């Protein structure tokens, strides 16, 4: 886990006694039928979930587990077979709930013949925003996702990562209270992934609620406060990430500047207490950390080979 | 020109149309509600189903009221961007190519070149613009669903109606611009193609004298395969005769070297005549009043025929003849009228020669007071231009004043007879009319394009509506079906109401397969009775379809422009209002289809 995310998680507000539910599902289920009404797939079995204000909630599961179906039901893109999906206490079929939602779909389904500015301006107009507000907001978001250099280029010329960034900007155009992210880090390089994760945490710190789904476990572990694990359309696990992942019978000790004698002393202490030593060696950093460090150093001293 | 249905004044029409529209709207709404409830009741049970329908209807009313112009125009703007990206401009290239080929193949020396060119450009424009509207409108929403770009739209506070309305407005705007450019280029093309001038040929021009026949010394050179004879009117103005549907004014300028003449561009090629139509009635061969003439065997009952050399006559009674309407200062030769009669020959004879006929002007209340017989020669497909003078004579040579003696209560009668025994004249009400005025042609041209515009908007509306619940190709077929049905609305209604013989569709099929004629009753077998029973169901639906689908033929008034008749404002306004009526219906239907569909898969 990186330093920034650790710090952010430590600073996360502890859940208040009666948290306000932003998203609620009540035995929400979806069955796909064919043209003749015959049952094809039970994509989601009755699901009860609550997402509270100010948390990052992750839906986790392999492909086809019903994550995206849940999100589509919440947004009203699909109609539930049974049960209800409530967002801000409104039914998911109520269009007015969308005023306060930002949605980044799995792939950024944007109009490829528009450029970045036009795209954001267009979505701004869908929120009925007046021209000056749109102009200001468009520029802010383009700066935020770092696409100022390409804002006049049609989206069809964009790389996957750039499309993803403009997709994110599009989702934030209305300064939403609830941000729904479907696989936010797919198609992003390590830098982009890190930036996306930092941004998600920043949004949470601004008091927004984030609902994301992903099958990339590392991403979920890094940012989510609470997760739900879905498998074959069924809820398998629900809870806080830290408590779910805590391994009670294992103790981890990390220290800096220990001599060999100190290490052997530690081994002895463990033996004396009938503990089992699992490992005692120098940790290797993650590839992500290594990569990010190299990039950072290259930016500081262009041309030189990083040490 | 064929005028099958009489055009009634706009406000009279409105009084009929609005209640009709509301009745149909309520009927469709009730039907739709019942159908939706049935579906929901099957799906969710009778109580929950009712609740679903109730909730959809109430939220829909709310959502229709919440439509935001900014969002609609954002979506319209998107539709325009999409059209541009889908290379709408190619249509211009196609149109230009069509005009270029037309320039090669259309004959500008034809006897009515103006009509030829106008009907060509109007037809070409109509088909191109309608095709464009069809292709743009039906693929847009299905493409958005397929590429899932619709996800980012419907997750914004966009009401379903705005998606439909935005598309209709956007594509209509594109169509309008296309139509505008086509209209302007057509106008220039037609004018430049037909435009020509002549030189005046004089005896003292030694080189040209050789070509002149004996006795003629003052006429024009041959251009576009025709030449004119030059006349001088009472005021000393020079002008050519009326040939190939036009004439040229000529100006003369005296100088010490002699008089120079210059021929101006043609006039009369492009007109917008304002006709006053009369009521047509007939006298049979014995001179007794009849509502119709003779049928000479045509299935199309539009025209009736009168027998030559008998007492049979066709009588038009024209309203609104007053001195104020036709002041002698403006109509020095009298009231102009035009006559296009059909000729039905029982023997061929010399086809080049016309058939002689006569007409009299008479007082509708006192038919004894009538002018002396005027003889004319009727030729097929030829419009005779004549005048009713203000001073006439009766058979005995007594002077008659048009307004004093012949017009009664603003009405005047014109009775036509065919003089050649064994030949017939055919006529419909619109074949003889008084020419009250010439409206400005340019305005008429605009009105003609307005009629294309209404059709384009209708196609766009139907296309978008169908594409809210069908995929692109199917939506296109559905829209085409609606258009084709629309073109034959009258026939469909006629079949359904048994105005045309032959029974309903299934009965007609039986007649076709068993080679039965259309009129004799079918044998009373069980099969036939079942067929007729089924037909009644089909015909019930057909009549209702006839109420709903737009009558496209009614919307097309390009014939008026091509034939040189003014499109009455009454008609133009009726079509415009009807178009918006249809758009409203299509919008509501599209709204519900969009609202009740799942956008995602």
Q: Which are the contacts of B136, defined by CB distance < 8 A and separation ≥ 6?
A: B79, B83, B86, B88, B171, B174, B175, B460, B463
Same domain, A168 and A287: no
Residues B287 and B255 reside in one and the same domain = no
Share the mean pLDDT of chain B: 89
B183 vs B487: which has the higher pLDDT: B183
**What pLDDT is recorded for position B17?**
93
B204 has pLDDT over 70: no
Instruction: With CB atoms and an 8 Å threshold, state whether A122 touches B74.
Output: yes
Structurally, chain A folds into a number of domains equal to 2
Residue A4 — very low, low, confident or very high, per pLDDT cuts 50/70/90?
very low
Q: Does B155 touch chain A (CB under 8 A)?
A: yes
Interatomic CA distance for residues A96 and B167, integer angstroms: 21
Q: Which residue of B has its CA nearest to A80?
A: B598
pLDDT of residue A262: 87
With CB atoms and an 8 Å threshold, state whether B71 touches A99. Answer: no
Note whether residue A122 is domain-resident: yes
Indicate yes or no: CB of A110 within 8 angstroms of CB of B147.
no
- Clarify whether residues B108 and B135 are in a common domain: yes
In this structure, the answer to whether residues B29 and B175 fall within a common structural domain is: yes
Q: Note the pLDDT of residue A257.
A: 82
Confidence of residue A306 (pLDDT cuts 50, 70, 90): low
Q: Do B151 and A111 touch (CB under 8 A)?
A: no
Residue A305 inside a domain? The answer is no
CB contact under 8 A, B70 and A128: yes
Looking at the fold, whether A150 and A273 belong to one and the same domain comes out as no
The reply to whether A244 touches chain B by the CB within 8 Å rule is no
Is residue A36 included in any domain, yes or no?
yes
Question: What pLDDT sits at residue A173?
Answer: 93
Provide, rounded to the nearest whole percent, the portion of chain B with pLDDT above 90: 50
Q: Are residues A181 and A281 in the same domain?
A: no
Amino acid A250: pLDDT = 80
Higher pLDDT, B253 or A198: A198
pLDDT for B207: 58
Q: Which of B63, B152, B598 sits opposite A110 (nearest CB)?
A: B152
Q: Is B68 on the interface with A (CB under 8 A)?
A: yes
pLDDT at A6 exceeding the cut of 50: no
Contacts of B38 (CB under 8 A, 6+ apart): none
Do B174 and B73 reside in the same domain of the chain? yes
Residue A276 lies in a domain: yes
Is A105 close to B148, i.e. CB distance below 8 A? yes
Rounded to whole angstroms, the Cα distance separating A148 from A232 reads: 42
Check B151 against A103: CB less than 8 A apart: yes
The pLDDT value recorded for residue A1 is 39
User: A131 at the B interface (CB within 8 A)?
Assistant: no
Residues B575 and B430 placed together within one structural domain of the fold: no
Q: What band does B215 get if pLDDT is binned at 50, 70 and 90?
A: very low
What percentage of chain B carries pLDDT values higher than 70? 97
Q: Do A50 and A129 belong together in one domain?
A: yes
pLDDT band at B149; cut points 50, 70, 90: very high
Torsion (CA) B393, B398, B402, B408 in degrees, nearest 10: -120
Chain A contacts of B150, Cβ < 8 Å?
109
Residue B3, domain member (yes or no): no
SS3 B361: strand
The Cα angle at residue B324 between residues B318 and B325, in degrees rounded to 5: 40
Output the average pLDDT for chain A. Answer: 85
Whether residue A101 sits in one domain with residue A206: yes
- Residue B163 included in any domain: yes
B214 and B143: one domain?
A: no
| Domain endpoint, select from B414, B438, B462 | B438
At how many degrees (to 10) do helices B69-85 and B113-146 cross? 110
Shortest distance, CA A98 to any CA of chain B (angstroms): 5
Contact B85 A113 (CB under 8 A): yes
Q: Determine, yes or no, domain membership for B271.
A: no
Q: Given an 8 Å threshold on Cβ–Cβ distance, is A123 in contact with B152?
A: yes
Q: What is the mean pLDDT of residues B395-406?
A: 88
State whether B406 and B496 are in the same domain. no
Say yes or no to pLDDT of A15 above 70: no
How close does chain B come to A54, measured CA to CA in Å?
A: 21
On whether any CB of chain B is under 8 Å from the CB of A3, the answer is no
* Residue A210 sits in the same domain as residue A293: no
What's the alpha-carbon Rg for chain A, to the nearest Å? Answer: 23
Each as own residue / partner, the long-range contacts of residues B531-540 (CB below 8 Å, 24 or more positions apart, any chain) are B531/B506, B531/B507, B532/B503, B532/B504, B532/B506, B532/B507, B534/B506, B535/B503, B535/B504, B535/B505, B535/B506, B535/B507, B536/B504, B538/B504, B538/B505, B538/B506, B539/B495, B539/B496, B539/B497, B539/B498, B539/B504, B540/B496
**Interface check A75 vs B, CB under 8 A:** yes
DSSP state of B96: H
B128: helix, strand or coil: helix
Q: How far apart are CA B393 and CA B372, in angstroms?
A: 6
Same-domain status, A42 and A186: yes
Q: For position B502, what pLDDT does the model report?
A: 83
Chain A residue nearest residue B66, CA to CA: A96
Number of H helices, E strands in chain A: 10, 10
Radius of gyration of chain B from its Cα atoms, rounded to whole angstroms: 30
> Is B179 in the same domain as B43?
yes
| B415 and B563 assigned to the same domain | no
pLDDT higher than threshold 60 for residue A255:
yes
Number of structural domains (chain B) is: 3
Closest chain B residue to the Cα of A75, Cα to Cα: B155
pLDDT of residue A7: 42
Region of B259 (left: φ > 0; alpha: ψ -120 to 50; beta: rest) is beta
Q: Measure the CA–CA gap between B176 and B169, rounded to whole angstroms.
A: 10
Q: How confident is the model at residue A253 (pLDDT cuts 50, 70, 90)?
A: confident
Neighbours of B191 (CB within 10 A): 15
Q: Residue B334: is it exposed, middle or buried by C-beta count within 10 angstroms (0-12/13-18/19+)?
A: middle
- A94·B59 Cβ contact <8 A: yes
In angstroms, the separation between the Cα of residue A231 and the nearest Cα of chain B is: 20
pLDDT reported for residue A10: 43
- For residue A252, pLDDT beyond 90: no
**DSSP tag of B145:** H
pLDDT tens-digit series, residues A47-78: 999 999 999 999 988 888 889 999 999 999 99
Query: pLDDT tens digit string along A269-287?
Result: 888 888 888 877 777 777 7
Q: Are B458 and B500 part of one and the same domain?
A: yes
Q: What is the pLDDT of residues A152-184, one digit of tens each?
A: 999 999 988 888 889 999 999 999 999 999 988
Q: Is residue A286 part of a domain?
A: yes
Confidence band for A16, pLDDT divided at 50, 70 and 90: very low
Domain limits at B406?
A: 276-438
* Spatial CB neighbours of A255, under 8 Å, sequence gap ≥ 6: none
Average of per-residue pLDDT across B123-143 = 93
Domain-located, residue B190: yes
Q: Are A156 and A211 found together in one domain?
A: yes
B379 and B523 share one domain: no
Which domain CATH number covers A239? 3.40.50.300
Q: Which chain B residues are closer than 8 Å to A94 by Cβ?
A: 59
DSSP of A182-220, one letter per residue? ESTTTT--HHHHHHHHHHHHHHHHTT-EEEEEES-HHHH
What pLDDT score does A303 carry? 67
Which positions 423-452 of B are in contact with A (Cβ < 8 Å)? Answer: none
**Taking CB atoms and an 8 Å cutoff, what residues of chain A touch B154?**
75-77
Q: What is the pLDDT of residues B247-293, one digit of tens each?
A: 888 888 888 877 788 888 888 889 899 999 999 999 998 989 998 99
Q: How far is B599 from chain A (nearest CA, A)?
A: 5
Across the interface, do A128 and B71 touch by the CB < 8 Å criterion?
Answer: yes
Whether the pLDDT of residue B232 is over 80: the answer is no
Does B599 lie at the interface with A, CB-CB under 8 angstroms? yes
Cβ–Cβ contact B87 with A under 8 A = no
CATH number, residue B316 = 2.60.120
> Quick one: closest CA in A to B63, which residue?
A95
pLDDT value of residue B154? 93
Return the DSSP state at B352: T
Nearest CB among B71, B75, B152 relative to A109 is that of B152
Residues counted in chain B:
601
| C-alpha distance from A118 to closest chain B C-alpha (Å) | 10
Distance between CA A102 and CA A200 in Å, rounded?
12
**Helix runs in B402-525, H state only:** 441-467, 472-487, 489-496, 505-513
Assign A28 a pLDDT band (cuts: 50, 70, 90): very high
Tell me which chain B residue has its CA closest to the CA of residue A79.
B598
A95 touching B, CB under 8 A? yes
**What pLDDT, on a 0 to 100 scale, did the predictor assign at position B205?**
58
How sure is the predictor about A305, in pLDDT bands with cuts at 50, 70 and 90?
low
Query: What integer pLDDT is reported at residue A204 of this predicted model?
Result: 92
* CA nearest neighbour of B459 among B96, B128, B158: B128
Does residue A53 sit in the same domain as residue A141?
yes
Q: Are residues A126 and A94 in the same domain?
A: yes
* Contact state of B598 with A78 under an 8 Å Cβ cutoff: yes
d(CA B280, CA B404): 23
Residue B4 lies in a domain: no
Q: Would you state the pLDDT for residue A18?
A: 63
Is any Cβ of chain B less than 8 angstroms from the Cβ of A176? Answer: no
Query: Are B210 and B190 in a shared domain?
Result: no
pLDDT for res B152: 92
Q: Which residue of B has its CA nearest to A82?
A: B44
pLDDT band at A9 (very low <50, low <70, confident <90, very high): very low
Residues 6+ apart with CB under 8 A from A251: none
At B461, the pLDDT band (50, 70, 90 cuts) reads very high
Cβ–Cβ below 8 Å for A126 and B157 = yes
Whether residues A127 and B159 touch (CB distance < 8 A) is answered with no
Report the distance separating Cα B88 and Cα B107, nearest Å.
31
- Strand B412-418 and strand B335-339: the pairing is unpaired
Cβ-based neighbours of B346, under 8 Å, separated by 6 or more:
B422, B423, B424
d(CA A179, CA A54): 11
Residues B426 and B364: beta-carbon distance below 8 Å: no
Q: Which domain holds residue A171?
A: 3-245
Residue B159 to residue A98: CA distance in whole angstroms: 10
Q: Nearest CA of chain A to the CA of B162: how many Å?
A: 10
- Alpha-carbon distance B268 to B245, whole Å? 6
Cβ-based contacts of B63 with chain A (< 8 Å): 95
Judge whether residue A80 has pLDDT over 60: yes
Please check whether residue A114 touches B, CB under 8 A.
yes
Contact residues on chain A for B68, CB-CB shorter than 8 A: 128
Of B30 and B104, more confident: B30
Going by C-beta distance under 8 Å and a sequence separation of 6 or more, which residues neighbour residue B266? B194, B195, B196, B197, B246, B247, B248
* Residue in A77, A95, A109 closest to B149 by CB: A109
Provide mean pLDDT across the span B539-565.
Answer: 88
- From the list A105, A125, A128, the residue facing B152 with the nearest CB is A105
Q: Are residues A76 and A170 in the same domain?
A: yes
- CB under 8 Å, gap of 24 or more: what pairs does B286-289 form? B286/B310, B286/B311, B287/B311, B287/B312, B287/B313
pLDDT tens, B344-364?
998 888 888 889 999 999 999
φ and ψ at residue A221, rounded to 5 degrees:
-60, -40
Residues of B in contact with A111 (CB under 8 A): 78, 81-82, 149
Note whether residue B24 is domain-resident. Answer: yes
């Amino acid at each position: 886990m990186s330093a920034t995310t650790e710090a952010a998680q430590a600073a996360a507000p502890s859940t208040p006694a009666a948290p306000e539910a932003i998203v609620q599902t009540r035995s929400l289920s979806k069955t796909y039928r064919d043209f003749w009404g015959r049952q094809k797939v039970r994509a989601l079995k009755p699901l009860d979930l609550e997402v509270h204000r100010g948390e990052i909630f992750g839906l986790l599961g392999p492909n086809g587990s019903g994550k995206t179906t849940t999100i589509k039901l919440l947004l009203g893109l699909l109609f539930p077979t049974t049960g209800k999906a409530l967002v801000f206490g409104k039914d998911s079929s109520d269009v007015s709930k969308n005023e306060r939602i930002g949605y980044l779909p799995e792939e950024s389904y944007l109009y490829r013949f528009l450029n970045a500015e036009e795209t954001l301006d267009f979505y701004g107009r869908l929120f009925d925003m007046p021209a000056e507000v749109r102009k200001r907001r468009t520029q802010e978001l383009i700066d935020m996702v770092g696409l100022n250099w390409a804002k006049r280029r049609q989206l069809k010329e964009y790389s996957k990562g750039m499309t993803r960034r403009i997709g994110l900007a599009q989702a934030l155009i209305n300064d939403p209270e609830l941000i729904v992210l479907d696989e936010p880090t797919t198609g992003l390089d390590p830098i982009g992934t890190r930036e996306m994760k930092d941004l998600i945490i920043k949004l949470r710190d601004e008091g927004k609620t984030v609902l994301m789904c992903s099958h990339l476990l590392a991403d979920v572990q890094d940012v989510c406060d609470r997760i739900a694990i879905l498998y074959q359309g069924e809820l398998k696990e629900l809870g806080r990430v830290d408590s779910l992942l805590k391994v009670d019978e294992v103790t981890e000790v990390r220290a800096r500047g220990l001599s060999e004698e100190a290490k052997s002393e530690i081994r002895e202490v463990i033996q004396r207490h009938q503990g089992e030593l699992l490992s005692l060696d120098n940790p290797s950093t993650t590839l992500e950390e290594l990569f990010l460090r190299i990039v950072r150093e290259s930016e500081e001293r262009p041309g030189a080979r990083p040490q | 020109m064929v005028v099958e249905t009489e055009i009634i004044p706009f406000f009279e029409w409105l009084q009929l149309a609005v209640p009709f529209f509301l009745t149909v709207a309520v009927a469709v709404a009730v039907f739709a509600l019942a159908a939706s409830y049935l579906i929901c009741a099957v799906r969710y049970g009778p109580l929950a189903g009712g609740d679903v329908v109730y909730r959809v209807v109430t939220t829909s009313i709310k959502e229709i009221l919440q439509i935001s112009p900014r969002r609609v125009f954002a979506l319209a703007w998107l539709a325009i961007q999409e059209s541009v990206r889908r290379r709408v401009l190619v249509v211009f290239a196609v149109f230009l190519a069509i005009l270029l080929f037309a320039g090669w193949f259309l004959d500008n020396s034809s006897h009515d070149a103006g009509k030829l060119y106008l009907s060509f450009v109007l037809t070409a424009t109509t088909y191109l613009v309608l095709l464009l509207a069809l292709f743009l409108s039906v693929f847009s929403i299905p493409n958005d669903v397929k590429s899932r770009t619709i996800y980012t739209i419907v997750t914004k506070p966009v009401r379903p109606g705005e998606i439909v309305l935005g598309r209709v407005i956007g594509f209509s705007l594109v169509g309008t611009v296309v139509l505008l450019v086509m209209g302007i280029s057509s106008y220039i093309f037609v004018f430049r193609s037909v435009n020509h001038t002549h030189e005046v040929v004089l005896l003292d021009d030694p080189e040209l004298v050789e070509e002149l026949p004996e006795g003629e010394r003052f006429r024009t050179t041959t251009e576009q395969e025709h030449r004119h004879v030059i006349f001088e009117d009472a005021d000393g103005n020079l002008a050519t005769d009326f040939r190939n549907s036009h004439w040229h004014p000529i100006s003369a300028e005296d100088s010490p070297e002699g008089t120079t003449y210059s021929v101006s561009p043609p006039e009369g090629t492009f007109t917008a005549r304002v006709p006053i139509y009369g009521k047509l009635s007939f006298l049979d061969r014995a001179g007794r009043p009849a509502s119709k003439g003779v049928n000479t065997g045509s299935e199309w009952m539009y025209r009736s025929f009168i027998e030559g050399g008998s007492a049979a006559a066709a009588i038009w009674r024209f309203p609104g003849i007053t001195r104020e309407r036709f002041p002698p200062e403006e109509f020095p030769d009298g009231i102009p009228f035009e006559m296009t009669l059909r000729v039905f020959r029982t023997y061929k004879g010399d086809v080049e020669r016309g058939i002689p006929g006569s007409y009299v002007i008479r007082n509708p209340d006192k038919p004894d007071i009538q002018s002396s017989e005027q003889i004319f020669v009727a030729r097929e497909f030829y419009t005779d231009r004549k005048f009713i003078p203000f001073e006439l004579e009766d058979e005995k040579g007594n002077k008659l004043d048009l307004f004093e003696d012949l017009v009664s209560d603003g009405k005047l009668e014109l009775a036509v007879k065919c003089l050649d025994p064994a030949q017939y004249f055919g006529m419909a009400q619109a074949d003889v009319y008084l020419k009250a005025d010439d409206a400005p042609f340019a305005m008429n041209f605009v009105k003609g394009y307005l009629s294309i515009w209404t059709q384009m908007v209708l196609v766009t509306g139907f296309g978008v509506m169908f594409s809210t619940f069908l995929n692109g190709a199917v939506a296109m077929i559905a829209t085409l079906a609606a258009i084709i049905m629309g073109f034959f609305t009258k026939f469909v209604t006629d079949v359904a109401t048994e105005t045309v013989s032959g029974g309903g569709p299934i009965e007609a099929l039986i007649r076709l397969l068993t080679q039965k004629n259309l009129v004799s009753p079918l044998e009373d077998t069980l099969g036939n009775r079942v067929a007729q029973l089924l037909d009644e169901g089909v015909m019930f639906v057909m009549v209702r379809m006839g109420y709903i689908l737009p009558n496209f033929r009614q919307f097309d008034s390009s014939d008026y422009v091509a034939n040189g008749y003014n499109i009455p404002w009454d008609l133009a306004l009726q079509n415009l209002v009807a178009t918006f009526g249809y758009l409203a219906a299509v919008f509501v239907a599209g709204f519900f289809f969009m609202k009740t569909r799942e956008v995602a898969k």
